[in-house]
Amino acid sequence: MNIKKIYCNGCSHSAGGGLEINKVLKNKLNIVDYYNSKYNVHWKDVNEILYSTSISKKLSVESINEAASGGGTERVLRMAYDFVKLNWKVKNELLLILELPSLGRLDLYSNKLNDYIIGNLHFLNNDYSDNSITGLYGTRGYYNDEYANDNLKVHSALKSYYDNFFSKKSYFLNLVRQVNTFFGYLTSNKIKYIFFGGELLSGIDSEYRKYNSLKLKIESKIIEDFHQFAIETNSTVAEECDFLIDDLHPGFFAHKNFGNLLSNYIIENYDNL
């Protein structure tokens, strides 16, 4: 196995969403303090406990995680491509772990903010013929007080874009084209990668799904997505915190255990990736 750098990107699941150090539970206790009192674990920065960090430690290689809460597949592909080009001299020693987030997470460049924004659309239902939304926003980081003013600056433009240039079906098909094109680029250049994320899976070419789509065996079940792993193993933030918070993001032990299992998966399947 010849890995020099591991690169990870995705949405809040891969970014440690729900485990941020400023998160407060229903009993007013800080989430890190709760984990410390119950499980004797502690972290000063969420990056310390991500599954990508666990893989980095177990395989003794450098890891770079650029996942972001609210981030979408277009952002993953854009940044992963830039990472590959930046590390082209060692491309044969790279491993990319790519989570492909669900629809409605736009990657747009804002001239007003002079920066890329995370544009999120919240759909009313899952019907591809229905573009109805319940809300939208666009910020440089996941929507919170820090970036609230961003949304004020871009909201009307984002609404106009949605009203005039967006349909869920065409967006899905465009994402599938982008994913297949990027995977073809990685494959032709013999760059190792693993991907997961259920919503786009049906449109991804079978040649990429055969070896590069995550298929993690746990007893009789096949795990194809990190969030699925947290649900199946009862290790969401909510469950690990005794439902003192309504948060179904993967918890501390989901990251730890998934990282360990994925490390072994990489070792066993490296030649075929």
pLDDT in tens, 114-130: 999 999 988 888 777 78
Q: In this model, does residue 198 exceed pLDDT 90?
A: no
pLDDT given at position 124: 87
Q: Do both 160 and 182 map to the same domain?
A: no
Using the Cα atoms of residue 235, residue 236, residue 241 and residue 242 in order, give the sign of their dihedral. Answer: negative
Q: Do both 82 and 181 map to the same domain?
A: yes
Output the CA–CA distances (angstroms, integers) from residue 241 to 25, 37, 39, 230, in the order listed.
8, 11, 10, 13
Q: 């449109």: which residue's tokens?
A: 203
Q: What is the pTM of this model?
A: 0.94
Output the CA–CA distances (angstroms, integers) from residue 33 to 25, 53, 95, 247, in the order listed.
10, 21, 34, 17
Q: Do both 121 and 139 map to the same domain?
A: yes
What is the percentage of the chain residues whose pLDDT exceeds 90?
A: 81
How far is Cα 273 from Cα 265, in angstroms, rounded to an integer?
11
Does residue 88 contact residue 190 with C-beta atoms inside 8 Å? no
Number of domains making up the chain = 2
pLDDT given at position 11: 95
pLDDT given at position 41: 96
Domain stop point among 150, 167, 184:
167
How far is Cα 262 from Cα 225, in angstroms, rounded to an integer?
11
Q: In this model, does residue 144 exceed pLDDT 90?
A: no
Question: What is the rounded average pLDDT of the residues 93-113?
Answer: 94
Q: Which two tokens stand for residue 86?
A: 């930046």
Range of the domain at 158: 105-167
